[in-house]
Amino acid sequence: MATLVLKAGLKLNLGCGYNKMDGYINVDSAPACKPDVVCDLEETPWPWKRNSVSEVVLFHALEHMGATSEGFFKLMQELYRVCRNDAMIKITVPHPRHENFIGDPTHVRAITPQLMTLFSLKNCDLWKAQGASNTPLAHYLNVDFETVRAEVKLDEPYASALNSGQIKSEDAVMLLRERNNVATEFMIDLKVIKKNNLLTAIPA
């Protein structure tokens, strides 16, 4: 009987631009960036095998993709296909109510922690049982991403005011609801959930 061993998965830096990362396959659609792989991620399938990826970085990239719902759904399905069980996806995006997002015409989609909850099978099962109106995208697309981190980075002067105690966390939450340009970024980490853990195993 062959011994099953875990093979180290690929690490992808998708939409890398000029921000190359050592130890990652740096991918971008623009040849001028001189990525390791020139690839338009809105064209599927991607050139990586199913369950071959253990980590993905999307640093100020995902907001540039998937202008249509159909296109965005295909991106998420392809991300799920190439990732193995427990793969980590690290997303950094501009806050949709900051001028950094609003002022760039290549930004086509707002990415938020709330959006990512729609791709969780656990959440969608719960909403179905409750009769909630949340769109169960995990059911529709046959994907499952668990959010393990969702943080917001405040802009100045709000970050310094919070750190110095001039405002409290609940004040920052209220300001985020009431004003633009309070936060610059969302940082969202997703974990890929696949029922068959042996999908990442290969014969020795």
Which residues share a beta bridge with 55? 11, 88
Instruction: Tell me the mean pLDDT in the region 27-37.
Output: 97
**Sheet strand arrangement including 53-59:** 37-38, 25-28, 10-14, 53-59, 83-94, 183-192, 145-154
Torsions phi, psi of 94, nearest 5? -70, 145
pLDDT in tens, 9-24: 999 999 999 999 999 9
pLDDT in tens, 83-126: 999 999 999 999 999 999 999 999 999 999 999 999 999 999 99
- All domains of the chain, ordered by start, with CATH? 8-154+184-195 (3.40.50.150)
pLDDT in tens, 119-148: 999 999 999 999 999 999 999 999 999 999
pLDDT in tens, 36-72: 999 999 999 999 999 999 999 999 999 999 999 999 9
Contact 55, 23 (CB under 8 A): no
pTM here? Answer: 0.91
On the question of a cis peptide bond just before residue 45, with omega within 30 degrees of 0, the verdict is yes
* pLDDT of res. 196: 58
